[in-house]
Amino acid sequence: MLSRVFQAYGHVCAAHPWEVIVGTITLTSCLMSMSLFTGHDKICGWNYVCSREEVPHGPENIFLTVARCAAVLYIYIQFRNLRKSGSNYLLGIAGMFTIFSSFVFSSAVVNLIQADVSGLKDALPVFLLLVDIKKASALAKLALSSKSEMEIKDHIAQGMSLIGPTMTLDAIVETLVIALGTLSGIRQVEITSNFAWLSVVTNYLAFMTFYPACLALILELSRDGHGGTPMWYFHQKFAKVLQEEEEKKPNPVIQSIKVIMSAGLVLVHAHSRWGGEPSEGILSDGLSQLDLDTLGLQQEVTPDQSLWQFYLLSALQMDTDHVIMLALAAFLTVKYIYFDYDLDTQINLINNKVSPRPEGEDCTMGISTSTKEVEDDVISTATKSRHASFIIGDDDSSSESEKESKETQTELNDLFKPLTLRASSPPRDLEECKEILNSDEGPDELTDEEIMLLVKDKHIPSYKLENILGDYKRGVAIRRKLVSRTLASASAFKNIPYDNYQYKYVDGACCENVIGYIPVPVGVAGPLLLNNRQYQVPMATTEGALVASTNRGCRALSMSNGVSSVVIGDSMTRAPVVRLPDACKASQLKRWLDIPQNFEKVKESFDSTSRFCRLQKIQTCQAGRTVYLRFIALTGDAMGMNMVSKGSERALRVLHKQFPDMETMSVSGNYCTDKKASAINWIEGRGKSVVCEATIPASVVQSILKTNVQSLVDLNISKNLIGSAMAGSVGGFNAHAANVVAALFIATGQDPAQTVTSANCITLMEAVGKDRGDLYISCTMPSIEVGTVGGGTILPPQAACLQMLGLHGASDTSPGQNAAELASVICATVLAGELSLMSALAAGHLVKSHLKHNRSQLNVIPSLPTVKEDQSSSERTKITR
């Protein structure tokens, strides 16, 4: 809960940086004004003569000097450690934060002590000793690891959710503990304690207000000032930085102890400060009259200089210990700027250690020549530059043609060109590689051979290569090399492309252990006239004649006033299987769900899991003491399997409360049914249930389809109806609906495995019209499982195919409309394919058309051996109708 509050707060600060910065600066200015003009009117040394405080001598003076110098050294070490990260931005941001915090603290001290400006000399070293730049740099790392402008605010918000609660509790504990020193009764300890707790508070306030806003503003301005190209990109990826910060989260037990200790300290302060009546002679400001006399505050004098001159001269007056501290600070500053070049040199050496392989140089140390020659032909280069790059916004210097070539539509030579991995010197030992991987430098400083060494040692899981490396292409390239060493033929990867693909859409959504992608030809059939609207239908297939045949059917339909469609059902299903102690209890569950009030309870819980998923009914089936609960729900424009699964799990919790002895065996009990041929989907429907119909004039049947109506009707009865029934087919009363469904599914990013149920179809043909010379054809498909959002629809090529149909994404007007329209397009295209194929069969043209369109003159791609020409025609022609 507390993390969410800090996350929301961090997002507000990052989203409105100007407002936060201006507000903070305004508040600081008011604080300074109060200290200068509304402070105590008795200013010691200016208008009142005070007794001179005792100056520390001997061991006490040495101790204070050492403490001040330690504070300066501490800050120097923190900045030196930041410099090792190689990011000048971290240095600048952390330095700016420190300076601003010091400024706020100084002004606050002036207001607190009012008359004793000399106390600032003691305050600043104490502040430097307590300030923690690590938290500031951690938040900066999270922000700098953003891949886009939109991620900056989210990353800052997530950083605040991780760092904010811990820092808040630590600040409270530190303040309460340090403030105990103000109760000591020793003046010097009291002054130092005041400085210390005030430094903790001001550092916390600056971190929680000014810092995240300033961080977001700096990154935004750096982008705008460089034409949209982010000059601040930090090489460590967000996932790794976030994981590091999460690992640093303190033990909950320790946090609980801190909370208890804070409560105790609050009671101590309350009792000590307000527990009793002030003693006689104590003034409201805590000083006795005797103290005032001792300090000489009653000896008023006329000032001989202005107040600001007095403050300036007081600040410039330094004792020996202050001179030593300033000299050390100056020395370390000069050393840091001019003499700590060894850090930069080490960073540059590491960054430049991985260089392109010189021509003719062997880059596979320790690998045999034969293996090296094979692998050099197989593996592609991971990257041309050390860091993954990205562009915020729409700014890109590439031309439109160049952008297109960088996508998946590339030349054959670009896709299959042999590339090489990074050149590498002999791999470093395993322990050193582990240290580098976990350091700020990260995996970018490791060669590919060293990464593979870590994978073999199980230190890097193979399936997490992309996330750990922060470079999708490099992760794929290294995995290809690892896998190629285990293959019977290492050259198998030669013609599996992996370059020029946007793997960021695949990661965590579409595929794991990626080694490349398979280009599939995409054809277009159309225009398809459906419901008085024309569609160009994309079809991804490797079966010759399919697109040509479907295209002929679309032409015949367009010449016949097109196709009409109606969606008669819309519901996605998931059927958990539960078991009860006996059949009697199982029947009680079934009857309980039949009561409308009980169904509403389950529906309320189910619907709470999504904005779009809405439970329609629950279909139950009992077998012994086992009950199958088929949840049927609307899912908007998504295919909806995940939605319904999530809702089903939530609904089962309600049932568990009513039936405590109910055992959930599986969230899917195969009664859904998903990706398996089943009568329940054929009868009850699943996904979108669609009916398409068209009437083809006799003239079009004869001129375009080259057959006659009676032949088509007779063939449909004999083949699609009687033949399928004799085969015991379930939902297979068609010629080749699965062909068209699979081609459209692959093109538009649907789940190809769901072709099994989505291709359920019955094709009917009748002779109608005058003299029964026209052809009426309809296709009824009760279980088309499709969506226009989620899954493979996020991949750019598949999204482009949906855009061809005007159906990409969710509907702006009615949730579910785009998915329903896509199902109608699929059913209408199936009708076109059925019409054309049945006509070819009736006219005896099928074998002829396949020999023309499905027999390639080039059996394989050029880089592979060609197939002998003595292969028979029967082996090359696939007729499965």
Distance CA 628, CA 608 (A): 22
Q: Which pairs from 70-74 meet CB under 8 Å and 24+ separation?
A: 70/129, 71/125, 71/126, 71/127, 71/128, 71/129, 72/125, 72/128, 72/325, 72/328, 72/329, 72/332, 73/328, 73/332, 74/128, 74/129
pLDDT value of position 857: 53
Tell me which of 321, 445, 751, 785 is the catalytic residue: 751
Residue 50: pLDDT band by 50, 70, 90 thresholds?
low
* Three-state secondary structure of 443-463: HHHCCHHHHHHHHHCCCCCHH
pLDDT value of position 856: 53
Q: Which residues contact 284 (CB under 8 A, 6 or more apart)?
A: none
Which residues face 778 on adjacent strands? 693, 764
Tell me which of 675, 693, 706, 853 is the catalytic residue: 675
Active site residue 850: yes
- What are the structure tokens assigned to 303, written together? 């000032």
pLDDT digits 0-9 by tens, 706-720: 999 999 999 999 999
CA 706 and chain centroid, separation: 55
DSSP-assigned letters across all residues of 514-578: --------EEEEEEEEETTEEEEEEEE-S-TTHHHHHHHHHHHHHTTT-BEEEEEEEEEEE--EE
pLDDT value of position 22: 78
pTM of the model as a whole: 0.57
Task: Give the mean pLDDT of 287-296.
Answer: 44
Residue 371: pLDDT band by 50, 70, 90 thresholds?
very low
Distance CA 126, CA 120 (A): 10
Distance CA 759, CA 748 (A): 16
Distance CA 854, CA 878 (A): 8
Q: Is the pLDDT higher at 19 or at 704? A: 704
Task: Give the mean pLDDT of 726-734.
Answer: 96
* Three-state secondary structure of 10-48: HHHHHHCHHHHHHHHHHHHHHHHHHHHHCCCCCCECCCE
- Residue position matching structure tokens 């840091």: 336
Active site residue 134: no
Distance CA 448, CA 657 (A): 54
Active site residue 736: no
Residue 110: pLDDT band by 50, 70, 90 thresholds?
low
pLDDT value of position 731: 95
Task: Give the mean pLDDT of 304-313.
Answer: 64
- Residue 88 reports pLDDT greater than 50: yes
pLDDT digits 0-9 by tens, 797-813: 999 999 999 999 999 88
Return the number of other C-beta atoms located less than 10 Å from residue 188's C-beta.
15
Q: Is the pLDDT higher at 686 or at 184? A: 686
pLDDT value of position 770: 84
pLDDT value of position 367: 35
Which residues face 629 on adjacent strands? 620
Tell me which of 121, 808, 845, 850 is the catalytic residue: 850
Distance CA 800, CA 785 (A): 20
Closest to 646 in 3D by CA, of 676, 675, 611: 611
pLDDT value of position 171: 81
- Residue 786 reports pLDDT greater than 50: yes
Q: Is the pLDDT higher at 862 or at 29? A: 29
- Residue 780 reports pLDDT greater than 80: yes
pLDDT digits 0-9 by tens, 476-488: 999 999 999 888 8
Q: What is the CA radius of gyration of the chain?
A: 38
- What are the structure tokens assigned to 296, written together? 């000489």
pLDDT value of position 293: 45
- What are the structure tokens assigned to 724, written together? 């399928």
pLDDT value of position 629: 97
Comparing 4-8, 93-97, 342-346, 545-549, the range with the smallest average pLDDT is: 342-346
Residue 582: pLDDT band by 50, 70, 90 thresholds?
very high
pLDDT value of position 548: 95
Task: Give the mean pLDDT of 116-134.
Answer: 57
Q: Is the pLDDT higher at 329 or at 701? A: 701
Residue 621 φ then ψ, to 5°? -145, 130
Q: Are 602 and 655 in contact (CB under 8 A)?
A: yes
pLDDT digits 0-9 by tens, 157-187: 877 888 878 888 888 888 888 777 777 666 6
Residue 653: pLDDT band by 50, 70, 90 thresholds?
very high
- What are the structure tokens assigned to 871, written together? 């292969």
Residue 410: pLDDT band by 50, 70, 90 thresholds?
very low
pLDDT digits 0-9 by tens, 236-258: 455 555 555 555 555 565 656 65
Active site residue 543: yes
- Residue 664 reports pLDDT greater than 80: yes
Q: Are 744 and 546 in contact (CB under 8 A)?
A: no
Tell me which of 440, 543, 607, 684 is the catalytic residue: 543
pLDDT digits 0-9 by tens, 175-225: 888 777 777 666 666 766 777 777 777 778 777 877 787 777 777 666 544
Q: Could you give the dihedral angle defined by the CA atoms of residues 10, 14, 19 and 22, in that order, rounded to the nearest 10 degrees?
A: 90
Distance CA 572, CA 616 (A): 10
pLDDT value of position 563: 98
Average pLDDT of every residue of the chain: 75
* Three-state secondary structure of 648-666: HHHHHHHHHHHCCCCEEEE
- What are the structure tokens assigned to 549, written together? 């045949």
- What are the structure tokens assigned to 22, written together? 């201006």
* H or E segment to which residue 779 belongs: strand 774-784
Half-sphere exposure of 788 (CA within 13 A, CB side): 28
Q: Is the pLDDT higher at 655 or at 150? A: 655
pLDDT value of position 683: 96
N-to-C CA span, the chain? 61
Give percent of the chain with pLDDT exceeding 70: 61
DSSP-assigned letters across all residues of 668-728: --SSS--SS--HHHHHH--EEEEEEEEEE-HHHHHHTS-S-HHHHHHHHIIIIIIIHHHTT
* Three-state secondary structure of 496-515: CCCCCCCHHHCCCCCCCCCC
